[in-house]
Structure 1
Amino acid sequence: MALSWRTEVRALFAWRRVLNRLRAVLRSALTTFVVLTLTLWLMPGVASTDLLDILGLVVLVAVVGAVLRPLLLLGITALGGWGAMLLGVVAQVAVMVIALELDPAEQISGLPTLVAAAILAVVVAALLDWMADSGSDDTFVREARRLMRGVRRRAARRAGGPLITFRRPRPGAEPGLLMVQLDGVAEPVLRWAIRAGNLPTLGHWLRTGTHTMRGWHTGLPSTTPASQAGILHGASRQIPGFRWYEKETGKLMVSNRPRDAAIIETRLSDGRGLLRDGGVSISNAFSGDAATNLLTVSHAALPGRSARGWAAFMASPYGFTRALVLGVAEVLTELHQARLQRRRNLQPRVSRSGAFLALRPASMLLRDVNVSLMAEQMARGVPAIYCDLVDYDEVAHHAGPARPESMRQLESLDRMLGVLERLAPEAARQYHLVVLSDHGQSQGATFRQRYGETLDEVADRLAGSDRAAGPQMPAEEEGKVEPENTPPPATPLLVVSSGNLSMIYLTRFPHRLNRSAIDHVYPQLIDGLAAHPGIGLVVAQTEEGPVAYGTDGSHRLRDGTVTGTDPLLPYGPSACHDLLRHQSAAHVGDLVVISAVDPVTHEVAAFEELVGSHGGLGGWQTDAVLVHPSGWPTARELDGPDAVHRQLVGWLTMLGLRKPDKAVLGADPLHVEDLDPGRTARLSPSRDG
């Protein structure tokens, strides 16, 4: 115990730590002085702006903050969830209000004026800190390190051992695996950005040989829920699109709705998910059978009292408050960028107003929260973490996947990888880092923009008056009834779209129909869709199995028989396999429609109002990426998210973080050999320490 006490004291008063602490105090005092001077100068009715009075107020703010912030942190930790977010909003303002109220010089009086001055001071402080760091993440890193040391200090006290601060990779330390998903980033986009020198962190890893990059094929549907169902649970065929209709229940499922995601996860989970055995899921669609779920959609809850990273982020002046202020700046930036697109008449483009204005700063806030949560879990020493960062995907949907504003989001994600690298010395394990994406994106003017009508309207026109009156029952369907307690469908012909993939359901029939039954009900529907210039192919079931129909030909998916012009040619060599596999997915539509792809530009026409889309086939939307430590054994081919799941499980097994599971791995699919420690890359301190 005496040795533990001396070790902690020695670490506490190490000259480097003392110097860093003094530097932080001086910077905080200078920032507070400038903030208060500006605030008092801008506020009307200030009694005095004497230098000594301002200096006295600086001291008072420091004292109030030192006393109040720990109490606020305790309150935030106790509240958890929404309570933490609410208290986090007012925490920094409360510190400033109390300091101004206690000011003996009474430079500002009256509660409304005090609150207004406090809000102004907090905003100015956030902007000054950001400018002082030249837009870097230095302050954020310092706060995250403080959080991690606090987590480790509490763990050390519970264990009765000393707190040890690590400055370099630790030989013999237990390994861990940190998996970071860059949502929506296509392999060609990432490779191009690295070659351009715009992603220094990833570029450094690849150029020095610590990591290797390879592409993997997502298949159909190329969406986050389907990919994560495969990556996290090895069960991608449970999800036919981002949204779909279930005839058995008459329910439209939307995979990013928490209630629906929870139902879907019960179908995916078999207890052998990627994150079983103590793993952590952060900001994912599904849990992967994780022991801890933070901001996971299927669990529909904000982090609770146990997630100190959430509380610390909310309470810190460099956390939620900073993100909130910079989020406002992000909205202004978005308005400016959208205006530039309009003035330059940049095509293709879509509206970037409405809900997207809120999504952009929200994704930035979520990114910072996610990194704080990862930092906390790394300090706790959990064996495996999987986190989804959505910044690039959200912006690319509305701006375009290779447009400047989307690439800036990709650069910010690269900086976050650099932040994790800088935080590695504070982690309780020696974490290896894997970076991957779940799909890519394809650009193009939308279907409605090109043809003046939506796919729903095209289907309505081809169905004619029968759609309004309701379809007639084909002879082979007579006597079959819909399931009991199934609510009546909103429309007899339901079009459900995910990017340039659409599924059409004849909702009055309890099971999937083949072509002859569909032709009996809507004689013009299939041929009319296939002949439309904006539609590349339509897949329907026949006596010979699923068949893809195009304008001038057809392709039998099971045996590859082509009649006329092959409609699959514009979609690449994997199209037949992708479509055939998709036909075996649960709840697939009576008809599957894929929009046409431009043979020159590889642009697609999304059935949603998105200039960057994914979900179907064509372009880069099926080209995902995997970056992993060099020297690790890999499968010869990664076709589909289920194969990525097996690859990641193999690595977890190789690192000793998971017991071998032949039901997942199969017969040695990775050809796993003994791990060579000299050839594997771990998260290590950055070059600047």
Structure 2
Amino acid sequence: MDPQVDAGKRRRLPEPVRVALRVLRGYRPTGARTRALVRSMATSFVVLSTTLWLLPGVTASGLVAMLWLVALVTVVGAVLRPLLLALATALGGLGALAIGVGVQAVVMYVALRLDPEAHVAGFAVAFVAAWVAVALAAIVNWLADAGTDDTFVSETLRLMTRVRRTAGRRRPARPWRRSRSAAPPADGKLADGLLIIQLDGVAAPLVQWAVRAGNLPTLGRWLRSRSHRMTRWHTGLPATTPAAQAGLLHGDVRHVPAYRWYEKATAGGSPGRLVVTSRPRDAADIERRLSTGSGLLRDGGVSISTAFSGDASTSLLTVSRAGLPGRSTPGYAAFMTSPYGFARAVVLSAGQVLRELHEARRQRVRGVQPRGERRGSYLALRPLASLLNDLNVSLIAEQMARGAPVIFCDFVDYDEVAHHAGPARPEAMAALESLDHTLGILERLAGEAARRYHIVVLSDHGQSQGATFRQRYGESLAQVVARLATPPAAAPTTDGRPAPGGTSVEAAGRVEEWGRVNTLLTEVAGRGGVTAAATRAAMRSGPAGEVSLGPADREEAATRTDPQTVVVASGNLAMIYLAHHPGKLTRERIDVVAPGLIDGLATHPGIGVVVVDSAAGPLAVGPRGWHRLRDGHVEGDDPLLPYGPRARRDLLRHQTMEHVGDLVVISAVDPSLEEVAAFEELVGCHGGLGGWQTEALLVHPAGWAQNGELVGPDAVHRQLLAWLGQLGLRRSADGAPPEQMGLAAETDLAAAPGRSGVPLPVMAAPAEAPAPSGAGSAS
């Protein structure tokens, strides 16, 4: 047939069909698959024998029948899984998720029906039997691999090979492979790439301690071998993920004053509203304010599981773009259909829920303090964070196989656990050790990538521990504000209306853990078809398909009830808005409309400092003195002393951000334990000042120069841009090199140590790699 005619016919096929055909053409038997098949048969024999013994309604008579069933399950799986993988790839999104849930049951049911010596009562029984078998297989494989996840890694490596083959590229001879995004260099070496891994909520001092204790073998090996160097950077205010990622990915921190905030009504303009960064529609609006088209991931980069995209050309599980991976992302489909992907992750997540129940009871029995509630929505959503870890690995592997120049991915498991258990409690440390294990997996996968990926590990903030404000004082901050803010009847509002009673609305619910769920459901609801319509109806989505589960919408509705004050919490940072008075109020004005509010808050034992604007500039007011932030002048006792030497600059910079509250409140900090009191019901918190929450982590190849101390996420953004420029992965809009973009380029990374043929991240480093001024080291 004429190739042009054949190509024309292919072009007339629907896109899902063309994608599915490409996947099928790329699926070929290999030696690795054969070995995996033999191991699978042995595992299946053990697992199926146990499953049939445990479950009524499924039987197989005798050893021969059992062996025949094992063979059938293996053959049926080998035949059906490529077909289901192709279908999942074609469908993408929710379709792949649905196939992932049912693929094991389909294989089991078909095999049982084909075995004349076996009996199954129906598909429902086969579904239960399949998931029991999956759980047992996960345990058997974990024991066989000594907990190393070798099987998962092997499956992921096969995914990378398939992605390269499906993309139409032959794999060059080792050690160098050809990059899809750039022609091979003249010397035959791989082009460089950068993999940036964010460990959400991990404090630098905690990692330093864990490395010294030997509990993080991957990071410890990098640091002890001097291939990498660990430093720390100061987050400033607010110490939250959205603020950090706004700075890291877009270089702009002015538009995100907290995890959530209240935007006051304007005279004759739009009404006031509560903005919550974990809601896709709010995140999209914030990104429109942030983006200039020159984000960190502008030049062909990929964002995975982040709040904002960084102007990436490919965004996966990114809140601001609310997208499930679609049919152009076979890594997602492969994860969903593989018995070592989605099914394994579900089993492990179920085990973690059981562990949460056990550890929560253990804390209660032992009388551990402080402690928080670990049930309800947290327990229901806990498995999602762990499942996303494995899915993130699969998505990263696919993008490395494609040769994406820059990949930025956020891993949230530790942050979720530490919020509820405490930042240094055993279960939180177990989550951190699991993340270190994930870094080891990514290191192995990087050796098979289409580029030579350098690995940078950073965190967005740390966490600080302490009993919550409500636990300590028996009431919320909003209740305190309502009591103090009740004005005299004669005090008018700015527009001349009579002042209302002391009504106060509080936004302090656990919204962070709902962000990923809302992202997934919003993407599904935004698509066409019956599934999207059903999702919109079931979730009561907005007119544009936005889904917002959790407390955010309830809190926003409460702000529309015309309250006098709105109290918005982010960890031990709270912002108080006098909602009836447009614009940001000064101390002089607040003392008129709400006399006693500032002094009452400043003398409360749970509050360390209240920041308010004044005719002389921002003031930090404490129980026995005040600190003028503009020039550092102090009267009485300095309220900023417990918060460290950077507190004045942090608060002063925070006051310049958009939509900062009329009052900014930071909880008191225990100087001996460095414990704080969160205004949310979280025993591990971040957002304000005190403890380790502002001490973030940065681990980078040791031969790379760091441009002095890094203060604020925008400074880390500039540092990352400099490294990208030196790797040849970043140019200015007019093609100018990084030196002409105002970025320091002190070291030519093309000539830096570690540019031999050793697979990253193990890079040779100078004998002495001194840390920059003010930076810590864990080597």
Q: TM-score, normalised by structure 2?
A: 0.81
Of residues 68, 72, 76 in structure 1, which corresponds to 2:84? 72
Q: 1:150-549, aligned counterparts within 5 Å?
A: 150-155=162-167, 157=168, 162-164=170-172, 166=174, 172-248=189-265, 249=270, 250-464=272-486, 472-474=492-494, 488=560, 490-549=562-621
Distance in 2 separating the partners of 1:686 and 1:634: 18
What residue identity is the alignment partner of 1:324?
V
In the TM superposition, residue 517 of structure 1 has moved relative to its aligned partner by 1.2
Contact 1:431 1:683 in 2 (8 A): no
Contact 2:739 2:745 in 1 (8 A): no
Q: How many residues align?
A: 659
Distance in 2 separating the partners of 1:323 and 1:47: 28
Contact 2:61 2:117 in 1 (8 A): no
Mark the CA change 1:665 to 1:561 in structure 2 (over 3 Å): closer, same or farther. farther
Of residues 43, 50, 68 in structure 2, which corresponds to 1:56? 68
Mark the CA change 1:93 to 1:175 in structure 2 (over 3 Å): closer, same or farther. same
- Deviation digits for residues 190-229 of structure 1 (CA, Å, limit 9, x no counterpart): 1111111111111111111111111100000000000000
What residue identity is the alignment partner of 1:23?
R
What residue identity is the alignment partner of 2:171?
L
Contact 2:194 2:455 in 1 (8 A): yes
Of residues 30, 35, 38 in structure 2, which corresponds to 1:26? 38
Distance in 1 separating the partners of 2:124 and 2:101: 17
Distance in 2 separating the partners of 1:390 and 1:674: 33
Distance in 2 separating the partners of 1:664 and 1:195: 37
* 1:673 maps to 2:695: no
In the TM superposition, residue 685 of structure 1 has moved relative to its aligned partner by 6.9
What residue identity is the alignment partner of 1:294?
L
Mark the CA change 1:340 to 1:101 in structure 2 (over 3 Å): closer, same or farther. same
- Deviation digits for residues 282-321 of structure 1 (CA, Å, limit 9, x no counterpart): 0000000000000000011211111111100000000001
Distance in 1 separating the partners of 2:737 and 2:639: 37
In the TM superposition, residue 172 of structure 1 has moved relative to its aligned partner by 2.1
Distance in 2 separating the partners of 1:666 and 1:616: 36
Mark the CA change 1:581 to 1:470 in structure 2 (over 3 Å): closer, same or farther. farther
Distance in 1 separating the partners of 2:377 and 2:163: 37
1:635 corresponds to which residue?
Answer: 707
Contact 2:235 2:696 in 1 (8 A): yes
What residue identity is the alignment partner of 2:231?
R
Distance in 2 separating the partners of 1:235 and 1:424: 31
Mark the CA change 1:111 to 1:237 in structure 2 (over 3 Å): closer, same or farther. closer
Which deviates the most, 547-556 or 119-128? 119-128
Mark the CA change 1:168 to 1:360 in structure 2 (over 3 Å): closer, same or farther. farther
Mark the CA change 1:62 to 1:292 in structure 2 (over 3 Å): closer, same or farther. same
In the TM superposition, residue 491 of structure 1 has moved relative to its aligned partner by 1.1
Distance in 2 separating the partners of 1:238 and 1:37: 59
Residue 627 of structure 1 aligns to a residue whose secondary structure is: strand
- Deviation digits for residues 162-200 of structure 1 (CA, Å, limit 9, x no counterpart): 323645799621000000000001110011111111111
In the TM superposition, residue 362 of structure 1 has moved relative to its aligned partner by 1.0
Q: 1:42-53, aligned counterparts within 5 Å?
A: 42-44=54-56, 48-53=60-65
Residue 289 of structure 1 aligns to a residue whose secondary structure is: coil
- Deviation digits for residues 471-495 of structure 1 (CA, Å, limit 9, x no counterpart): 6225xx659xxxxxxx955411010
- Deviation digits for residues 104-130 of structure 1 (CA, Å, limit 9, x no counterpart): 213334444334333332332233222
Of residues 570, 581, 588 in structure 1, which corresponds to 2:660? 588
Contact 1:634 1:670 in 2 (8 A): no
- Deviation digits for residues 516-561 of structure 1 (CA, Å, limit 9, x no counterpart): 1111111010000001011001011110011010000001100111
Distance in 2 separating the partners of 1:656 and 1:686: 18
- Deviation digits for residues 489-511 of structure 1 (CA, Å, limit 9, x no counterpart): 54110100100000000111221
Contact 2:566 2:578 in 1 (8 A): yes
Mark the CA change 1:344 to 1:24 in structure 2 (over 3 Å): closer, same or farther. same
Mark the CA change 1:133 to 1:540 in structure 2 (over 3 Å): closer, same or farther. same
Distance in 1 separating the partners of 2:758 and 2:430: 24
Residue 118 of structure 2 aligns to a residue whose secondary structure is: coil
2:693 corresponds to which residue?
Answer: 621
1:684 corresponds to which residue?
Answer: 759
Distance in 1 separating the partners of 2:440 and 2:331: 19
Mark the CA change 1:649 to 1:204 in structure 2 (over 3 Å): closer, same or farther. same
Distance in 1 separating the partners of 2:278 and 2:740: 31
Contact 2:423 2:464 in 1 (8 A): yes
2:682 corresponds to which residue?
Answer: 610
Contact 1:430 1:683 in 2 (8 A): no
Distance in 2 separating the partners of 1:683 and 1:398: 41
Mark the CA change 1:234 to 1:436 in structure 2 (over 3 Å): closer, same or farther. same
Q: 1:72-151, aligned counterparts within 5 Å?
A: 72-151=84-163
In the TM superposition, residue 461 of structure 1 has moved relative to its aligned partner by 1.1
Distance in 1 separating the partners of 2:306 and 2:232: 21
In the TM superposition, residue 47 of structure 1 has moved relative to its aligned partner by 5.5
* 1:574 maps to 2:591: no
Which deviates the most, 392-401 or 117-126? 117-126
Contact 2:177 2:451 in 1 (8 A): no
Mark the CA change 1:148 to 1:470 in structure 2 (over 3 Å): closer, same or farther. farther
Contact 1:169 1:425 in 2 (8 A): no
- Deviation digits for residues 430-468 of structure 1 (CA, Å, limit 9, x no counterpart): 0000000000101111111111111001101112366xx
Which deviates the most, 662-671 or 506-515? 662-671
What residue identity is the alignment partner of 2:598?
I
Which deviates the most, 368-377 or 627-636? 627-636
Distance in 2 separating the partners of 1:686 and 1:285: 26
Residue 368 of structure 1 aligns to a residue whose secondary structure is: helix
Contact 2:453 2:761 in 1 (8 A): no
Distance in 2 separating the partners of 1:232 and 1:252: 24
Residue 252 of structure 1 aligns to a residue whose secondary structure is: strand
- Deviation digits for residues 645-670 of structure 1 (CA, Å, limit 9, x no counterpart): 00001111110001046899887453
- Deviation digits for residues 628-655 of structure 1 (CA, Å, limit 9, x no counterpart): 0012121111010000000001111110
Mark the CA change 1:28 to 1:677 in structure 2 (over 3 Å): closer, same or farther. farther
- Deviation digits for residues 390-446 of structure 1 (CA, Å, limit 9, x no counterpart): 011110001111111111111100111100111122100000000000001011111
- Deviation digits for residues 308-348 of structure 1 (CA, Å, limit 9, x no counterpart): 11100000000001111111111000000111111110111
Contact 1:422 1:686 in 2 (8 A): no
Q: TM-score, normalised by structure 1?
A: 0.92
1:484 corresponds to which residue?
Answer: none
Gaps of 5+ in 2: 1-27, 179-187, 498-558, 763-779
Q: 1:2-17, aligned counterparts within 5 Å?
A: none
What residue identity is the alignment partner of 1:473?
T
What residue identity is the alignment partner of 1:674?
D
Mark the CA change 1:311 to 1:22 in structure 2 (over 3 Å): closer, same or farther. closer
Which deviates the most, 337-346 or 21-30? 21-30
Mark the CA change 1:112 to 1:263 in structure 2 (over 3 Å): closer, same or farther. closer
